[in-house]
Amino acid sequence: MSADEDDREKDEGSAYPGAEIIPLRRTRPCAICGLPSIRAFHPFCSQRCADLDLSRWLNGSYVIPAAAEPEEAESTQLLDEDDEADY
């Protein structure tokens, strides 16, 4: 078998013979351990790192800070003024 025949055999299983696969995203380091990420677990390198990240979210290790709503601050201020008026 020649090299051309080998290439044809490899291409026969492909929907687009001779097509080159181009990655959609650059490989970035894993968010947990720093190894290169894998497409199946992006942005992580493995199922283990993905599970560790999920565990941290579920345990409350990661918290998104929230500002107090203005309505709550105004209602608290009004209650304080009412208490002062009673004295």
Task: Note down pLDDT in tens along the chain; length 87 residues.
Answer: 555 555 555 555 556 777 787 767 678 899 899 999 988 888 999 999 999 999 999 998 988 888 877 665 555 665 556 555 555
Distance CA 65, CA 73 (A): 17
Give whole-number Cα distances, 9 to 5, 12, 30, 42, 78, in Å.
6, 5, 36, 32, 80
Distance CA 67, CA 73 (A): 11
Identify residue 42 by its one-letter amino acid code. H
Report DSSP state, residue 32: T
3-class secondary structure, 83:
helix
* Overall pTM surpassing 0.85 (yes/no): no
